[in-house]
Each structure stands twice: as structure tokens, then as C-alpha cells.
Amino acid sequence: MKIDLFVTCLNDALFPKTGQATVALLERLGHEVRFNAAQTCCGQMHLNTGYRADALGLVRKFVRDFRDAEVIVLPSGSCAAMLRELAPDAAHWEGDETLRSEVQALSGRIFELSEFLVRKLGVEDVGAAYPHRVTYHPTCHAMRSLRVGDAPLRLLRHVRGLTLLELPHADECCGFGGTFSVKNPDVSTAMLADKARHILETGAEACTAGDNSCLMHIGGGLHRLRSGARTVHLAEILASTPERVWA
């Protein structure tokens, strides 16, 4: 299958390894990965912070860049949720019905990585090996907007050598919320403290998730605590093999 990678701005700039792992994984599964270098950002940060016109400018750009894609895969649940669930509403609020229908026309081709593998490709064993104790945090947008369900867990259960530890209160938000973490630092910090405590209670070496934004927040908190536990994107675990460890 010809797969267009929308790597997302955060991954591009701060977590390139996640994008590289996604490419390695999809190619290992026999697909052709394309990267349109014109791409930038889904506009989520602008929309969620209340800058609708800026956000829609970026959504328009996304539509232009990916209009001809067969499938678009994102290693980010929140950006996929932005494009599939929020962008059409926002276009409607601004009275741009053309953009609304354009982005809606693309939405059936937009997939978060884990749902693409499990739901679209029907693959649960991607041939990965990662001999570590890992706990999984289901990020809010993947869980509640995209309803990816247990797709990430199904993938993790097939990873050789991986010990999957159940995260207590897993479905509670980590407290990131984009600019929420900067505008309401005290509440965000209190939420993070609970999430970090629950992760450390599992005794995991690493916490994984499908979104580097949440992981940047959780990982930043774990690092500040000098806890020793780290964060790793799901794509990097799934790309790992005995020959090449990504995470």
C-alpha cells in the first residue's frame, strides 16, 4: 500500500526518531511510505487555544498537501482526532463549508498508527522485540475521540520479550492538554503528579503511548522527579527488533 506519512510538527521538530520508527515499521510490513515535504501542522494547537482562523489556515494546507493520498498515517492520536473530529466543526463555525466537506472527504483515509495497523491492515504481530517492562497510557484523544480501544494493547501483547504492566487509573488524563499545561500550570502539575505516581507504582522501566505530546509532558515530569522511568512512543517499540533497537 502507498502510505502518506503525516509526521506532525511536534514529531518532526522534537521527536524525529518516532517518525523514523514509523517509516521503518511500515516498510518492514511491506508498504511504500511517502513523505510530502510541504506538510507542517494540523492546526490543533491553534484551534484548542482559540485561534480558529490560524488553525483553519493550517487545515486548508493539510487538505492541499494530502488531497491525493490513498491513506494518511499519523503517529499521533490527538492530531488524527483534530483532523477527523474537530476540523470539520471548526470549518463550519467559520462558515467555510467547502473546507468542511474537503476535510471530511479525507477523514476516512486518516489513521492513527495503532488503529491503522490493527483495524485497517488487520495486523497485531508486527514482528517487534523489546525486552523491557512497559506500561501503556491510553491518551485521551485516541481513547475518546478516535475510539482506538485496545488496538495499542493488542500490538504490545505481541511484542517479544515485552512485559506489559497494567497502569492504575489508566484512563485519567495526564494533565498535558496543550497550552492548558502552560496556562494552568498548577492544575496540570497536580494531574501529572498522580499520573507519574501511578506509572512508578507499576515498576515499569518505560511508559508508552501513541502521542509524543502527552509523553513529552509525562516524560518531563518523570525526569524532573529523577525517577529513572522513561517514556517511549509506541512506534519506537513496534519498530524495535533484536537487530535494531529504536527506543
- CB closer to other proteins, 89 vs 166: 89
Q: How far is CA 17 from CA 142, 147, 155, in A?
A: 21, 26, 19
Give SS3 for 246.
coil
What's the closest the beta carbon of residue 245 comes to other proteins, in angstroms?
A: 17
Site track for other proteins across 112-131, x = CB under 8 A: --------------------
What's the closest the beta carbon of residue 11 comes to other proteins, in angstroms?
A: 6
Give SS3 for 191.
helix
**Is residue 188 within the footprint of other proteins (CB under 8 A)?**
yes
**Is residue 227 within the footprint of other proteins (CB under 8 A)?**
no
Angle, CA of 3, 116 and 111, to the nearest 5°:
75
What's the closest the beta carbon of residue 112 comes to other proteins, in angstroms?
A: 15
Site track for other proteins across 53-92, x = CB under 8 A: -x--xx--x------------------------x--xx--
> Contacts from 176-184 at CB under 8 Å and sequence distance 24+?
176/213, 176/214, 176/216, 176/217, 176/218, 177/48, 178/44, 178/45, 178/48, 178/49, 178/213, 179/45, 179/48, 179/49, 181/217
**Is residue 168 within the footprint of other proteins (CB under 8 A)?**
no
Rule CB under 8 A: choose which of 178, 205, 241, 245 binds other proteins.
178
- CB closer to other proteins, 7 vs 151: 7
Query: What stretches of the chain adopt beta strand conformation (E)?
Result: 2-5, 32-34, 71-74, 110-112, 133-136, 163-165, 206-209, 230-233
Dist CA 158 CA 91 (whole Å): 40
Dist CA 22 CA 7 (whole Å): 9
**Is residue 35 within the footprint of other proteins (CB under 8 A)?**
yes
Rule CB under 8 A: choose which of 118, 128, 140, 167 binds other proteins.
140
Q: How many CA atoms lie within 13 A of 205 on its CB side?
A: 8
Interaction residues for other proteins, span 7-26 (CB under 8 A): 7, 9, 11-17, 19-20
**Is residue 163 within the footprint of other proteins (CB under 8 A)?**
no
- CB closer to other proteins, 162 vs 214: 214
Residues that bind other proteins (CB under 8 A): 7, 9, 11-17, 19-20, 35-41, 45-52, 54, 57-58, 61, 86, 89-90, 93, 140-141, 143-145, 171-173, 175-178, 180-193, 216-217, 219-221, 223-224
